[in-house]
Chain A
């Protein structure tokens, strides 16, 4: 790039000399022009000659060569040099801009650890993270990046997760806790037992995902490459016609005039401004989003987000904390402690948040030998044999199905009815908190032209409706089984307008089928959850639903820039083409329409990188 720059400067100086100084013999000026041309354009001409032999006539090197040599032939020396000179300046600038945006995007993603400290043969060594095996112990000093996912076995510290989540609050960690690669260790020295190889670690997965996102191209990109495929040949063909037909048909037409116009066409025929600026905008948008803690897995999804019309939320863990707490235990003919114990035993093997909260409330060791059998009944509850007792734990449906004579409870929350040996024994009331962030998210979605917000939940009608009302959600469907959610989303998909998109937001663990059928599947709390990263199109690294609003805003900004560039570039080119055909504009305007537009479009595309956190 430096060499190219020097060549351009020398050529530019020679060009200015020839343009300003009037030598006695005009040929001296012309020779200086030619020298300047050779310095700056030799590479292009060389490539062009090579391309002819390969049958690539619509190549930009070839077009530029024909246009400039043509200009020499009709005696337009300054123009010939200027076209080549400015073309090269434009190319140089373009290289620079692309290089710079590549770098600034990889800086955004500057989470790749360079080394891992490992204790081998009693000495601490720095090794490549790729060489560390599962089970080895790594040491992470304050200020270092955690190189691999693992579990803390010694030490305490706080971690900066900003690069992964966009979250500025440090996270406290201590012995026994999981840590993720890519976080920065802020203060304490910690020893970590590695649980995943580098290639499987969070940091690799995220980098991989962002880097490969540009492979999934958007409609705008497909449009523009298709456009380019037709644009260049059409302009070149018109140029040929322009050079040949008018001089034959029109009386007194001067061939060199029309040839000049045709050559201007060739200068404008390169579609590069569009072809580079559109993917660059998307790439920037994806990079900017990842800085906010939103991973977008393809340009197509970034594009789709701008047209979000319906946002469907899963309730638990998405809009609510998903942290359930036992609020009340009512026991009939049995002690509260005993009821809680039997329920905890029955729920022992389930990882559902409800079960976890029961186990947490019980807070004693569970003797698994006493658990004879447990069976989960989807959407209803659990049937278990604990010791010699048969325990039923579940919702109203389960009680009715098993014909248990139970007392209906009207408290708000999730109610687990318990029956022991077919006899009603009481209930446990569990409830969940709404995230503070959710209210903000819903109201901001409305402000960003999302027409409808919907909440789906397996929870009871009164609980669901109360949550929806508090949040200001438009529609709520309750008491849904997993396949019921799929059905509802399918219904909603039919209702939306043709261009509008439906986004589903869930925790990515139990809702893979729904994520898959939605236009945009968004999984939340992706940090550390492989399942979520795998299943979704967009991953929110933190568990704040308001990040969706940020993503939609960024998407809209990206699309606005893309549209500006498409319209601006095509408009300028078409106008200059018309003016050239009429003989009003010169080759100078043609150079602007090619190189100038390219540069402006790139500068415009880079605007997308400037993301502010939008609240």
Chain B
């Protein structure tokens, strides 16, 4: 399943790339893409575990980039 989010407040392109790498490592994530320029986060994940996965993604964002706000599109 694919979900898209608006991701605001990222400091730099490299932070986006680092965040992308950390999310990619999460269990259940098939693919992740963060575009610093369009401020978009695209997730592909195992649909059966949706809630758990979204929660862990949000947690890792909170940890690595506390100033970042994500909104559902």
Contacts and interface: CB of A to CB of B under 8 A. Distances in A.
A98 B16 CA distance: 14
A76 interface: no
B36 A212 contact: no
B13 A275 contact: yes
A229 B16 CA distance: 12
A263 interface: no
A272 B16 CA distance: 11
A211 B42 CA distance: 12
B21 interface: yes
Interface residues of B, number: 21
B35 A279 contact: yes
Contacts of A283: 35, 37-38
Interface centre among B13, B15, B38 (most CB of A within 10 A): B13
A496 B63 CA distance: 48
Nearest to B4: A212
A271 B36 contact: no
Contacts of B37: 98, 101-102, 214, 279-280, 283
A586 to B, nearest CB: 25
Q: Chain A, interface size: which category?
A: 20 to 34
B14 interface: yes
Contacts of B14: 60, 228, 232, 270-272, 275-276
B42 A215 contact: yes
A212 B13 contact: no
Given A56-B64, A217-B33, A272-B12, A212 B17 contact: no
Contact of B12 (A56, A60, A214): A60
B40 interface: yes
A54 B40 contact: no
A307 interface: no
Contacts of A478: none
22 contacts: A47-B11, A54-B63, A54-B64, A91-B12, A98-B37, A101-B37, A102-B37, A214-B37, A214-B38, A214-B40, A215-B40, A217-B33, A225-B17, A228-B17, A229-B18, A232-B14, A275-B36, A276-B14, A276-B36, A279-B35, A279-B36, A283-B38
Interface of A: 47, 50, 54, 56, 59-61, 91, 94, 98, 101-102, 211-212, 214-217, 225, 228-229, 232, 270-272, 275-276, 279-280, 283
Leading 6 A-B pairs by shortest Cβ distance: A276-B13, A275-B13, A225-B17, A214-B35, A215-B33, A215-B42
Given A215-B33, A275-B16, A276-B14, 8 more contacts: A54-B64, A60-B11, A98-B36, A102-B38, A212-B42, A215-B42, A216-B33, A275-B13
